[in-house]
Amino acid sequence: MTSKFIGKTLNEIQNLAKNTFAEIDLIQVDTKVTEVKKFDYKNNNINVKGRGGTNLYPAIEYIYQKKKNYDWIIIITDGDIEKDWNKEPKGKLIFILGQNDNLSLKLKRKFDIIKIGDNN
């Protein structure tokens, strides 16, 4: 994923947080959780941690370990992720992909996919 695509996506999340006053935890993960912090909708300068492989399941495990209950779980990805998860997160699950990206993930429950611009 390019920095431009990540920036566009974070801008959308920033607008959502600003308009709804939603409290957002930003969990960054590549092959492990690299950082967890509150998302500051007044400042969208995010230092991307990690990059490399893509294994999103450690973020899901983190949510379970901390016993966090989220209304929404928004995952920014290029779609190239592991196919099977042992547990499925609670809360509405939304994947944000680039326009040309695809996701093949088998979950027992419904999830939404939003495509934003392009990730070139």
Q: Which H helix or E strand runs over 60? A: helix 57-65
**pLDDT average, residue stretch 28-34:** 84
pLDDT digits (tens, 9 = 90+) for 49-84: 766 667 788 888 888 888 778 888 888 887 777 777
What is the dihedral sign for C-alpha 7, 65, 68, 105?
positive
**Which pTM does this prediction carry?**
0.75
CA distance 31 to 54: 5
CA distance 41 to 31: 26
Distance from chain centroid for Cα 35? 13
b/e string for 56-65 if b means 16 or more Cβ within 10 A?
bbebbbbbee
